[in-house]
Chain A
Amino acid sequence: DVKVTQSSRYLVKRTGEKVFLECVQDMDHENMFWYRQDPGLGLRLIYFSYDVKMKEKGDIPEGYSVSREKKERFSLILESASTNQTSMYLCASSPTTGRMSTEAFFGQGTRLTVV
């Protein structure tokens, strides 16, 4: 089975801290995604990566950056955490775009609270 693992299930950080959310997948997928999920707003794409060291902004990239140094790992970085970044963060991966029918596989989510 495909496995997407996020490093933490729950995280509490202070305002202004630099925060790293890690995501690892074990199926050699080219595409990886970071979303945040807020009540009433659904899943909003922050960044996605289609290859090592390649990334594209999603719909709400402000205040975030990403890193993909290895194919299996995609990190989301909050450069200076703020309270409005308190949210559920979901990582997903999927194979190359040539297989449109393949769904994305999700991690269990990280609930981040910034105080």
Chain B
Amino acid sequence: AQKITQTQPGMFVQEKEAVTLDCTYDTSDPSYGLFWYKQPSSGEMIFLIYQGSYDQQNATEGRYSLNFQKARKSANLVISASQLGDSAMYFCATRFITGANSKLTFGKGITLSVRP
């Protein structure tokens, strides 16, 4: 079975600094996608960034970038210039092909707190 691991229990960062949120995954499938979602205290799930397993370059979306190390099976999210509004729970997710279907699996999440 596929497994997503987010081991950092909680992270703190000073406003305007960068922070890295870790994610590792375990799969034998050659084709998969990696996603990061943000969940603020309001509870909505907000998609942030996507990385495909065959993508040659690391994905970037504004202040978000993904440090993708395929051989190590890691897909860490980097948030640059942190803002107070970045305080939230962050989830790493992977999408694998299982037969004809695509199962989306999430990690346990990491809580990020941005200090003023």
Q: Main SS of chain B's interface residues?
A: strand
**How many A-B Cβ pairs are below 8 Å?**
67
The answer to the question of A58 belonging to the interface, with a C-beta cut-off of 8 Å to chain B, is yes
**Interface size in chain B (residues, C-beta < 8 A):** 27
Q: Are B50 and A103 in contact (CB under 8 A)?
A: yes
Which of these, B52, B104, B108, contacts A40 with CB under 8 Å? Answer: B108
Interface hub of B35, B50, B102 (most chain A Cβ within 10 A): B102
Contact count band on A: 20 to 34
Binding stretch for chain A, among B11-19, B40-48, B62-70, B79-87? B40-48
- Chain A residue nearest to B46 (CB atoms) is A106
Interface residues of B (CB under 8 A from A): 1, 6, 31-33, 35, 37, 43-45, 47, 50, 52, 91, 93, 95, 97, 100-109
Contact A100/B102 with A43-B91, A108-B44 known, Cβ cut-off 8 Å = yes
